[in-house]
Amino acid sequence: MKRSDRLVAMTNYLVEHPMELISLPFFSDMYGAAKSSISEDLAIINKVFKEDGIGYLESVSGAAGGVKYIPDVSKERAGKIIEKLCLELEDPSRILPGGYLFMSDILGNPSTVRNIGRLFASRFTGLNIDSVVTVATKGIPIAYAAAEFLHVPVIIVRRDPKVTEGSTVSINYVSGSSKKSKRWYCQNEA
């Protein structure tokens, strides 16, 4: 396999497996290249990731070591994403009766949700997150996007348990606004 082909394939693999430790022998076997060539390829990929502001590669030394893609968003890229989102949300026609803000089209746009998920994930990559928890409804798409970049499962907390989710655990809390006791439910496996 030519180096240019290998670089594209390795980059794609890393981006599709964020936060996952991948050994050099894995790449070496997969692409039929020496570990030294793979190391050089990874240095090139890391340089491009950093220049593009989409993350970096973290090397882990030792017998069980390897490399993992850490999704990140540069300040410049984050600013552009947030500015675009703000412009969309500032549209006066989004205000619904009762003062609510219409966002379904934004939360239904996979590209926008992926960018928001990347923003959230980039702020938590160094914290050993083991799951992303969200409240049911509007937070679900963003939670899944962030969880994909963090390589962790999603836990959905609901006011009403769903039979299809199996056994649940309930959490009692006092609402800050109404001062009433309420209950949340989440999957027992969470």
Identify residue 167 by its one-letter amino acid code. S
CATH 1.10.10.10 maps onto the chain at 3-71
pLDDT value for 1: 83
The pTM of this model reads 0.81
Residues 6+ apart with CB under 8 A from 103: 89, 94, 138
pLDDT value for 114: 94
Handedness of CA 176, 147, 157, 97 (dihedral sign): positive
Exposed, middle or buried, 187 (CB in 10 Å: 0-12/13-18/19+)?
Answer: middle
CATH 3.40.50.2020 maps onto the chain at 75-155
Q: How many CB atoms lie within 10 A of CB 67?
A: 23
pLDDT value for 189: 67
Classified by CATH at the fold level, domain 3-71 comes out as Arc Repressor Mutant, subunit A (1.10.10)
Residues 6+ apart with CB under 8 A from 99: none
What's CA 45's distance to the chain center, in Å?
A: 20
pLDDT value for 152: 95
State how far the Cα of 3 lies from the Cα of 59, in Å rounded to an integer: 21
Output the six-digit token pair for 21.
Answer: 């430790």
Classified by CATH at the fold level, domain 75-155 comes out as Rossmann fold (3.40.50)
Q: What is the pLDDT along the chain (190 residues), one digit of tens a residue?
A: 899 999 999 999 999 999 999 999 999 999 999 999 999 999 999 999 999 999 999 999 887 789 999 999 999 999 999 999 999 999 999 999 988 899 999 999 999 999 999 999 999 988 989 999 998 778 899 999 999 999 999 988 888 877 777 788 888 888 887 888 888 888 776 5
Exposed, middle or buried, 58 (CB in 10 Å: 0-12/13-18/19+)?
Answer: middle
Alpha-carbon separation of residue 90 from 93, 103, 160 (angstroms) = 9, 11, 33
State how far the Cα of 38 lies from the Cα of 102, in Å rounded to an integer: 48
Instruction: Please tell me the number of Cα atoms within 13 Å of 122 on its side-chain side.
Output: 17
State how far the Cα of 180 lies from the Cα of 185, in Å rounded to an integer: 17
